[in-house]
């Protein structure tokens, strides 16, 4: 649309089915806007987003030669795209459209001041019209997209996402930090709500992933750097050596003498520094634990001692999108928290699960060689902490969130215990029972029926776990104020205390900085919008899968993983990506390359000063790489020459809006 | 501070409680209960004490006695935890705690013991009758020759004495459990016990709290039963010489209609309870223990055999009268066993006293509040 064409603006004030019109006098607004300069038509509608409403817009464009459209309606997140599409259908550039939020910004917040709301609507609409006059046609940024995705983290969520993406014909690079895939799920036994064995379930999934020709797995690998933008990321992946080969693996494994605590069993057992975490793991080849192997020579069959060496290799992978599936760590209680680390009878739930797996054959539950007659579970350890009550963690934060999985996991474990050890007395110290999933409440019901004694404490007053005095019947004594027993203090003598620890995100600071994704106050990775865009991050092309985003059970982790995969496939499936054109644009005539914009810019590769030769002279000028620019406008604010603007939101457009809002409206008197 | 004890729950189950485990302590039962109050928040508090194993706490409580088992709680409970039945079991357990002989525990928790005790009772009566009966006059009914009234009366009094001794010692223990805490007496002033004594009589006679429960009909039927039984008891223990006589009084004479009325009252009340138990019509009758069945049955047998004695006598059937008389005594003995250590009807005694203690404590607190109020307003 050439600029010198005569402006013909169409203005619509939507009733939003009463949401707006119950408060704002839409007819008066429409009438007042009708007399604004350049406005050729001003209408109201019951709901413009309806088919009829949209056809009206298209008809006006075609029949009246309208070349700018201003609509006052709901929030732009809801229907801006809807109305832009109406413009496209009528043959108009979609960026000649201006959206005005009359609902969220006006009628909903001023519901008890009808006249005031109507005046405000007029000002807002007038500002919209003022901006519309200065709109220019824009084109979306179209980029070639790499039809390959990077999945970071080979837990159940990462595996599922990788498989879903690959099954849609895209290639996947899966990067797993540890030597084996499967993540935390491999450390579980029978899992709720189906009682299937976790590793059996995983094995099926891993088999499909491994056999898929489109998936390349890197274990003992980490992403060291990411450059580029949606559709065209380049990730540097560093992979450590396995340290063993098919040929020497078994011999090295048996010859290796050095032992360290086995993290697979949460330190309950020890393993060698060349190891397989469990039989049937993938990859089946043992690996060297380079963090702990300090170059000790190993003699094979009495031969020359050999020293294993880690020779990391680096690969660059080009991917269009990135799935972050780095998972969780169980909360590690502080020294002395509920006696943890001080009393040997205090363990965490993940530890107990491993302990049970290791001692399945036994007929009686034993701990430290002593029979366990009474056991107590304490819920919410490291979760639902209260500001001012609970001591902050090292980084000053408190875990005030609910870890969601631990209630059902705890009750599920009590069921396992009851089945294997019928004589056991089980106490359950909880704050609330949050067995929210389908079938999960059954665990609570069955625990009650099975004689588990529930004791309810308040988060403000934690149970006290202490060593019992000598000669007592049990080694440990719990004192707890039980709100079910009228806040009386109870004494529970037990042989074992199990802490139902919550979930925390893994240590992934480097990755977070690299990807510039945001984290919530709980430090889990944050989605753009919890309801409307639950697996996407604010960074285009970076999506989240599984417990990296927050506490989830396996089912939820997989739902999230499949959703993330769907997003990736939708983004990259066509081989190109389209981005909004609201990015910085440099006015070549005004720019003299001071570089203030480059300094302020937070987005890597978004802007740079380049040197050009023009008419034999060297000139410096800022150049924007649109795909990397977020359109935040920081550069606009610092440019001394006003040489840079965000397209679609230029300074002059803002000025026009401010002027319009501040000025009077001719027919205003009629309203007040 | 009290120590949890997971075994208590199992112990109470021996006394007939079902489903205590299922209770998740929502408190609906207490909210719906027409008799519970802030100080006596049963049935949930009783259930909780059991779940957590606070024997010593439950032992001191009056709560189980303040419940008349209207069954509202069981009908309301979302978990099917049968709180009403737990209250019933708690009463049995309390009775066994009050009983220092340990017999009551055995009789409640073992069917063998319960039936054994009844058989022993019956054998004793039969044996005594065989040993001590007088000549069997067969040409006319001479009951007082066959069973001299003085002898029977003496036996009655001895039995009543034994029974009273057990019950009163139980009552004494109830008193001690309730008013002694941690080795110290926590007694309201004696004066309040005296001034409120009328409440004891009133509640014994009217069972007035029962009427607060839904179902006035049950209260009336219960009341009729209590009256029938009470008057029969008084007749037999205190006025036997007047009651058991070979003189035939005219039908309008109180000696005759008082007896008939009492018998009919018992038959009505007991059959009502029995029928409800058979049909499981009412919440409280969903679960029945041996003693629950025996009780109405024995009562009916007692009344019926009593009526038969009278009938056979007027019909002039000497042997039939004598045999049915012995049978009547056997039934009576069995009932004594039930009332005594087996204790189902020990509640006749404990319940009014529990209400009495409750009232006394409330009154005493009111008084001390008034004093405290007077003191503070004097400031
Ligand atoms: C005690 C307990 C019991 C549970 N029981 C059940 C149950 O019975 N049923 C159920 O449904 N759920 C259960 N859960 C939850 C279940 O464990 C999780 O939902 C599931 O494991 C989450 O999988 P994930 O892939 O998101 O994370 P993870 O399993 O943690 O996988 C993350 C993977 O990413 C890798 N990784 C981390 N950082 C990096 C990095 N920087 N680069 C590369 N790779 C990286 C890790 O090595 C790991 O392999 C339980 C949880 C706990 C704590
Ligand atoms: S799931 Fe249960 S145990 Fe875990 S934090 Fe939430 S309330 Fe506590
Ligand atoms: S007995 Fe039933 S109603 Fe009463 S607290 Fe327990 S679950 Fe709730």
Q: What values do phi and psi take at A78, rounded to 5?
A: -85, -55
Which CB contacts under 8 angstroms, 24+ apart, belong to B200-205? Answer: B200/B352, B200/B353, B200/B355, B200/B356, B203/B351, B203/B352, B203/B355, B203/B356, B204/B348, B204/B352
Residue A347: pLDDT over 70: yes
Calculate mean pLDDT across residues A164-168: 98
Res A3: pLDDT: 47
Residues B135 and B243 in one domain: yes
Domain count of the fold of chain B: 2
**Among the listed ranges A110-119, A503-512, B137-146, B230-239, which one has the minimum average pLDDT value?**
B230-239
Q: Are residues B301 and B351 in the same domain?
A: yes
Q: What is the residue extent of each domain of chain A?
A: 9-138, 148-237+315-327+516-576, 241-311, 332-504, 584-647
Tell me the nearest-neighbour CA distance from A448 into chain B, angstroms: 5
Please compute the mean of the pLDDT values over residues A284-297 and round it to a whole number.
94
Q: What CATH architecture is A148-237+315-327+516-576?
A: 3-Layer(bba) Sandwich (3.50)
Report if residue B273 sits inside a domain. yes
The C-alpha atoms of residue A561 and residue A61 are separated, in whole angstroms, by: 43
Sign of the CA dihedral A365, A366, A371, A374?
negative
Q: Tell how far the Cα of B67 is from the centroid of ligand 3, in angstroms.
A: 15
Is the residue at B32 inside a domain?
Answer: yes
Report if residue B367 sits inside a domain: no
What does the pLDDT read at residue A555?
Answer: 97
Dist. CA A348–CA A568, nearest whole Å: 37
**pLDDT over 90 percentage in chain B:** 39
**Which of A451, A484, A493 shows the shortest C-beta gap to B3?**
A493
In the reported structure, the alpha carbon of residue A273 is separated from the centroid of ligand 1 by a whole-number distance in angstroms of 23
Q: Is the pLDDT of residue B342 over 60?
A: no
> Is residue B188 located within the same domain as residue B327?
yes
Report which of residues A654 and B216 the model is more confident about. A654
Please report how many Cα atoms fall inside a 13 Å half-sphere around the Cα of residue A290, on the Cβ side.
16
What is the gyration radius of the CA atoms in chain A, in angstroms? Answer: 32
Task: Give the residue whose CA is nearest to atom 6 of ligand 2.
Answer: A402
The residue segments making up the domain with residue B36 are: 8-98
| pLDDT at position A531 | 84
List, for residues B138-167, the tens digit of each pLDDT value: 888 888 888 888 888 888 888 888 888 888
Q: Of B98, B130, B148, which residue sits at a domain end? A: B98
**pLDDT at position A196:** 95
CATH of domain A332-504: 3.50.50.60
Contacts 24+ apart (CB under 8 A), A201-209: A202/A156, A202/A159, A203/A280, A203/A282, A205/A156, A205/A159, A205/A160, A205/A163, A206/A159, A206/A181, A206/A182, A206/A282, A208/A163, A209/A159, A209/A162, A209/A163, A209/A166, A209/A174, A209/A181
Residues B272 and B326 in one domain: yes
Q: Are residues B239 and B353 in the same domain?
A: yes
Number of Cβ within 10 Å of residue B274's Cβ equals: 18
What token pair was written down for A334?
A: 């502080």
B124 belongs to a structural domain: yes
Same domain, residue pair B299 and B167: yes
B38 and B156 inside one domain:
no
In this structure, are residues A219 and A290 in contact, taking their beta carbons and an 8 Å threshold? no
What's chain A's average pLDDT? 94
CB-nearest to A491 from B1, B6, B23 is: B1
B252 lies in a domain? yes
Q: Is B54–A455 a contact, with Cβ atoms under 8 angstroms apart?
A: no
pLDDT band at A668 (very low <50, low <70, confident <90, very high): low
- Judge: domain A9-138, CATH 3.40.50: yes
Does the pLDDT at position A666 exceed 70?
A: no
Residues B205 and B312 in one domain: yes
- Residues B259, B166, single domain; the answer is yes
Query: Helix, strand or coil for residue A321?
Result: strand
Q: In what order do the strands lie in the sheet with A171-175?
A: A215-218, A171-175, A148-152, A321-324, A542-544
pLDDT at B217 over 90: no
Cβ–Cβ below 8 Å for A448 and B79? yes
CA dist., res. A308 & res. A242, Å (int) = 10
> What is the per-residue pLDDT for A579?
85
What phi and psi values does residue A147 have, to the nearest 5 degrees? Answer: -90, 50
Residue A241 has pLDDT above 90, yes or no: yes
The CA-to-CA distance between both ends of chain B, in Å, stands at 37
**What is the CATH architecture assignment of A584-647?**
2-Layer Sandwich (3.30)
Check which CATH number belongs to the domain holding B65 and give it.
Answer: 1.10.1060.10
Res B260: pLDDT: 86
| Same domain (yes/no): B126, B94 | no
Ligand 1-lining residues (CB < 6 angstroms): A 152-158, 175-178, 183-185, 188, 191-192, 222, 325-328, 330, 349-350, 353, 405, 409, 412, 506, 508, 511, 546-547, 552-555, 557
Q: One fold for both A148-237+315-327+516-576 and A332-504?
A: yes
Residues 79-118 of B with CB under 8 A from A: 79
Average pLDDT over residues A119-148: 95
Give the SS3 label for residue A112: coil
In a domain, B379, yes or no: no
Q: Which residue has the higher pLDDT, A22 or B236?
A: A22
Confidence bin at B372 (pLDDT 50/70/90): low
CA-CA-CA-CA dihedral for A503, A507, A510, A511, to nearest 10:
-40
Summarize the confidence of residues A441-453 as an average pLDDT.
96
Q: Of the ranges A144-148, A192-196, B236-240, B269-273, which one carries the lowest mean pLDDT score?
A: B236-240
Give the residues across from A370 on adjacent strands. Answer: A367
Q: Can you give the length of chain B in residues? A: 379
Q: In this complex, do A448 and B52 lie within 8 Å of one another by their Cβ atoms? A: no
pLDDT of res. A361: 64
- Please indicate, yes or no, whether the overall pTM of this predicted structure exceeds 0.90: no
Q: What is the pLDDT of residue A561?
A: 98
pLDDT at B115 over 70: yes
Is A454's CB within 8 Å of B24's CB?
yes
Distance A505 CA to ligand 1 centre (A): 10
Instruction: Establish if B25 belongs to a structural domain.
Output: yes
What digits encode the pLDDT tens for the residues A73-88? 999 988 999 999 999 9
Same domain? B140 vs B217: yes
Closest ligand 2 atom to the C-alpha of A379? 3
**B149-179 helix and B83-98 helix, angle to the nearest 10 degrees:** 110
In which band, very low, low, confident or very high, does the pLDDT at A229 lie, cut at 50, 70 and 90? confident
Burial class (CB in 10 A: 0-12, 13-18, 19+), B315: exposed
- Per residue in B238-253, pLDDT (tens digit) is 777 777 777 777 778 8
Q: Whose CA is nearest to atom 1 of ligand 2?
A: A404
- Which uninterrupted H or E stretch holds A336? none
SS3 state at A411: helix
Residues B86 and B129 in one domain: no
User: For residue B61, what are the β-bridge partners?
Assistant: none
How many Cα atoms within 13 Å fall on the side-chain side of residue A32? Answer: 25
């Amino acid at each position: 649309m050439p600029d010198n064409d005569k402006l013909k603006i169409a203005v619509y004030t939507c009733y939003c089915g009463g949401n707006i019109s119950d408060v704002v006098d839409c007819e008066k607004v429409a009438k007042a806007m009708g007399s604004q300069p350049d406005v050729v038509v001003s209408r109201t509608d019951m709901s413009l987003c309806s088919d009829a409403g949209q056809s009206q817009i298209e008809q006006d464009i075609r029949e009246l030669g309208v070349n700018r459209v201003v609509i006052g309606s709901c929030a732009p997140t809801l229907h801006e795209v809807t109305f832009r599409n109406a413009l496209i259908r009528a043959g108009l550039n979609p960026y000649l459209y201006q959206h005005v939020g009359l609902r969220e910004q006006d009628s909903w917040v001023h519901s008890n001041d009808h006249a005031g709301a109507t005046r405000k609507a007029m000002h807002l609409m007038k500002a919209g019209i003022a901006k519309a006059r200065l709109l220019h046609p824009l084109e979306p940024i179209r980029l070639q997209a790499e039809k390959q995705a990077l999945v970071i983290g080979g837990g159940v969520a990462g595996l599922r996402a990788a498989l879903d993406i690959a099954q849609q014909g895209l290639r996947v690079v899966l990067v797993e930090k540890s030597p084996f895939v499967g993540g935390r799920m491999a450390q579980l036994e029978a899992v709720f709500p189906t009682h299937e064995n976790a590793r059996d379930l995983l094995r099926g999934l891993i088999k499909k992933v491994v056999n898929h020709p489109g998936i390349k797995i890197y274990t003992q690998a980490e992403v060291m750097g990411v450059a580029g933008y949606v559709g065209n990321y380049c990730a540097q992946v560093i992979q450590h050596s396995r340290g063993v080969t098919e040929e020497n693996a078994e011999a090295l494994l048996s010859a290796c003498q050095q032992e360290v605590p086995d993290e697979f069993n949460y330190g309950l057992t020890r393993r060698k520094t060349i190891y397989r975490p469990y039989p049937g793991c993938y990859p089946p080849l043992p690996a060297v634990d380079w963090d702990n192997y300090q170059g000790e020579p190993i003699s094979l069959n009495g031969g020359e001692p050999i020293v294993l060496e880690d020779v990391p290799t680096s690969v660059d992978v080009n991917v269009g999108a990135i799935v972050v599936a780095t998972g969780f760590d169980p909360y590690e209680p502080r020294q002395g928290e509920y006696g943890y680390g001080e009393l040997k009878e205090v363990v965490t739930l993940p530890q107990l699960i491993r302990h049970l797996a290791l001692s399945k054959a036994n007929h009686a539950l034993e701990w430290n060689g002593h029979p366990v007659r009474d056991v107590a579970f304490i819920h919410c350890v490291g979760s639902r902490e209260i500001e001012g009550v609970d001591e902050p963690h090292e980084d000053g934060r408190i875990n005030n969130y609910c870890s969601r999985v631990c209630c059902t996991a705890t009750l599920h474990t009590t069921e396992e215990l009851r089945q294997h050890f019928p004589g056991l007395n089980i106490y359950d110290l909880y704050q609330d029972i949050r067995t929210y999933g389908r079938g999960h409440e059954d665990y609570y019901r069955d625990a009650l029926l099975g004689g588990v004694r529930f004791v309810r404490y308040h988060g403000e007053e934690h149970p006290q776990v202490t060593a019992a005095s000598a000669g007592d019947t049990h080694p440990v004594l719990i004192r707890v104020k039980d709100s079910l027993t009228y806040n009386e203090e109870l004494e529970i003598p037990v042989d074992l205390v199990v802490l139902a620890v919550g979930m925390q995100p893994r240590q992934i600071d480097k990755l977070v900085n690299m990807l510039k994704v945001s984290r919530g106050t709980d430090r889990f990775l944050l989605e753009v919008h919890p309801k409307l865009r639950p697996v996407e991050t604010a960074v285009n092309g970076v999506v989240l899968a599984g417990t990296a985003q927050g506490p989830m059970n396996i089912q939820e982790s997989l739902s999230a993983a499949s959703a993330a995969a769907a997003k990736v496939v939708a983004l990259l499936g066509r081989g190109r990506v389209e981005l909004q054109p609201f990015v910085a644009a440099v006015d070549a005539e005004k720019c003299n390359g001071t570089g203030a914009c480059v300094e302020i810019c937070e987005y890597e590769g978004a802007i740079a000063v380049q040197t050009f030769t023009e008419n034999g002279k060297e000139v410096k000028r800022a150049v924007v790489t649109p795909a990397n620019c977020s359109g935040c406008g920081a550069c606009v604010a610092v440019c001394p020459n006003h040489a840079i603007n965000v397209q679609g939101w230029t300074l002059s457009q803002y000025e026009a809006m401010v002027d319009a809002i501040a000025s009077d409206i001719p027919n205003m008197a009629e309203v007040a | 501070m009290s120590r949890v004890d997971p075994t208590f729950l199992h112990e109470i189950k021996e006394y007939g409680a079902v489903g205590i485990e299922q209770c998740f302590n929502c408190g609906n039962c207490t909210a719906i209960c027409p008799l519970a109050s802030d100080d006596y928040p049963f049935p949930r508090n009783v259930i909780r004490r059991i779940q957590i194993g606070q024997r010593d706490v439950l032992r001191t409580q009056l709560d189980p006695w303040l419940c008349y088992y209207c069954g509202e709680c069981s009908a309301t409970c979302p978990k099917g935890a049968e709180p009403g039945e737990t209250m019933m079991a708690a009463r049995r357990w309390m009775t066994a705690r009050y009983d220092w002989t340990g017999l009551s525990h055995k009789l409640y928790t073992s069917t063998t013991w319960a039936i054994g005790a009844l058989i022993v009772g019956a054998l004793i009566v039969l044996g005594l009758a065989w040993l001590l009966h007088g000549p069997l006059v067969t040409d006319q009914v001479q009951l007082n020759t066959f069973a001299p009234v003085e002898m029977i009366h003496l036996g009655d009094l001895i039995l009543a004495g034994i029974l009273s001794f057990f019950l009163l010692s139980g009552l004494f223990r109830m008193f001690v459990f309730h008013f002694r805490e941690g080795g110290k007496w926590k007694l309201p002033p004696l004066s309040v016990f005296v001034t409120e004594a009328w409440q004891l009589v009133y509640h014994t006679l009217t069972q007035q709290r029962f009427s607060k429960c839904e179902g006035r009909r049950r209260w009336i039927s219960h009341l009729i039963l209590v009256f029938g039984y009470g008057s029969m008891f008084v007749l037999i223990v205190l006025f036997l010489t007047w009651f058991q006589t070979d003189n035939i009084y005219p039908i309008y004479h109180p000696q005759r209609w008082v007896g008939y009325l009492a018998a009919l009252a018992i038959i009505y009340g007991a059959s009502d309870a029995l029928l409800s138990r058979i049909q499981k019509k009412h919440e409280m009758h969903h679960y029945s223990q041996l003693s629950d069945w025996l009780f109405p049955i024995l009562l009916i047998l007692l009344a019926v055999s009593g009526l038969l004695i009278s009938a056979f006598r007027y019909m002039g059937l000497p042997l039939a009268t004598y045999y049915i008389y012995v049978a009547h005594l056997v039934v009576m003995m069995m009932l004594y066993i039930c009332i005594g250590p087996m204790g189902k009807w020990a509640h006749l005694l404990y319940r009014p006293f529990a209400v009495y203690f409750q009232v006394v404590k409330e009154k005493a607190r009111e008084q001390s509040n008034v004093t405290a109020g007077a003191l503070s307003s004097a400031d």
